[in-house]
Structure 1
Amino acid sequence: MKIGIVFGLLSAGLFGASTPFAKLLLGTIDPWMMAGLLHLGAGAGLAVIQLSRAHSACQRRKRRCGAPTCHGSRW
């Protein structure tokens, strides 16, 4: 299965799971704040994925060329 399909299904599932929790909080939180929190969570999740992908790519380069560091990267 293509990775894009997996990510699409995963994002749809997470969006569906967040809706009941958002409805519970809407009574106490302003809708604009709720939207901001949902976008902040999405950004944090994407940041974690991006950092893990960069780290694994660096590890592959280190194994391939045998360098002790990863070409100036912090990993």
Structure 2
Amino acid sequence: MNYKDRLVSDYQIMLGKPVIKGTRITVELILRKLSEGAVIADLLAMYPHLQEADILAALMYASDVMANEEVIMLKAA
């Protein structure tokens, strides 16, 4: 799956944060709910217009962002 098929980032929607296409549901919200203990079934019940593939796309996007993050090591004081 390509997350670009399900996510969009548009400065006119949620100030450009990545969202599920056709919604104002941000990737951040999906990740926050999952980190609070929600499971995919919970998210689908909370947001019935979402599909499981939307949630998986949000996870894939987040993992790609983390994989490409540049870490700069500072010397310890």
TM-score interval, smaller chain: 0.3 to 0.5
* Higher normalized contact order (CA 8 Å, seq sep 6+, divided by chain length): 2
- The structure richer in helix per residue is 1
Please report the TM-score for the alignment, with normalisation by the length of structure 1.
Answer: 0.35
Q: Which has the larger radius of gyration?
A: 1
TM-score under structure 2 normalisation? 0.35
